[in-house]
Amino acid sequence: MSRFGLRGPRRRHAARSPRSLRFKLLDYGLAILVLGLLILIAARLDRFETRKEQGMAIVNDGDSITLGAERIRMRGIDAPEYQQTCRKAGADYPCGKLARQSLVRLIAGMPVSCSGWQRDRYGRLLGDCRAGDTDLNRAQVQAGWAVAFGDFETEEAVARAAKAGIWAGTFEEPQQWRDSHHDAPVEKKHGLLASFGDALREFFRFW
């Protein structure tokens, strides 16, 4: 019989290496980091909460409406200001008023629903708006009564080629018209890419 008995030789446990200990500490550190990020995300989600408004709209101009007590600036487009004039066939015409009339026709007396989470420098909700099946933001650009302002560049190109709306003549970009007629800061574009950048800046603002 072996001097080790029936159990066979005893095995000695290898000492835990410093390398395996470092990996375990690294795993713990990563787990704590991920948990901390999840907590921070949960704490910041309220800033990205989407607001939804609906009802009968008061049309202010070609790219802004009022629903109840909420003023809404249509996201990604820029229509001529209400008092703005453009030029066609050698004469000025009230393109700002016509842009408003275009939006009134698109709404056609139907309830309007808008959603968004950002606000502009005037505190207006930057919204994507619909009346029935009509995407109002997109339709205003397609009709040629608003220019792309961070979004809807394809729709603008089609309207320009068809000489629709303001593209039938010459006009000053709404932003440039505001700059020359109002003592106010420049309005920044608010399309999809701009919204994504704003969301990242808002999320990391506490760092």
Half-sphere exposure of 138 (CA within 13 A, CB side): 7
**pLDDT score for 41:** 46
The domain ranges of the chain are 18-47, 50-203
Give the domain 50-203 fold: OB fold (Dihydrolipoamide Acetyltransferase, E2P) (2.40.50)
Express each pLDDT in 107-152 by its tens digit.
Answer: 999 999 999 999 998 899 999 999 999 999 999 999 999 999 999 9
What residues are annotated to the active site?
73, 81, 124
**pLDDT score for 18:** 61
Between CA 116 and CA 126 the distance in angstroms is 6
Give residue for tokens 């506490």.
Answer: 206
**pLDDT score for 182:** 72
pTM over 0.85: no
**pLDDT score for 25:** 73
Phi and psi of 39, rounded to 5°? Answer: -65, -45
**pLDDT score for 206:** 43
- Closest among 174, 117, 181, 104 to 143, alpha carbons compared: 104
**pLDDT score for 62:** 98
Q: What is the pLDDT along the chain (207 residues), one digit of tens a residue?
A: 444 444 455 555 445 566 666 667 777 777 787 765 655 544 444 455 789 999 999 999 999 999 999 999 999 999 999 999 999 999 999 999 999 999 999 999 999 999 999 999 889 999 999 999 999 999 999 999 999 999 999 999 999 999 999 999 999 999 999 998 875 555 777 765 554 444 444 444 444
Between CA 26 and CA 11 the distance in angstroms is 30
**pLDDT score for 28:** 72
Which spans in 108-152 are helix H? 136-142
Q: Which DSSP symbol is given to 207?
A: -
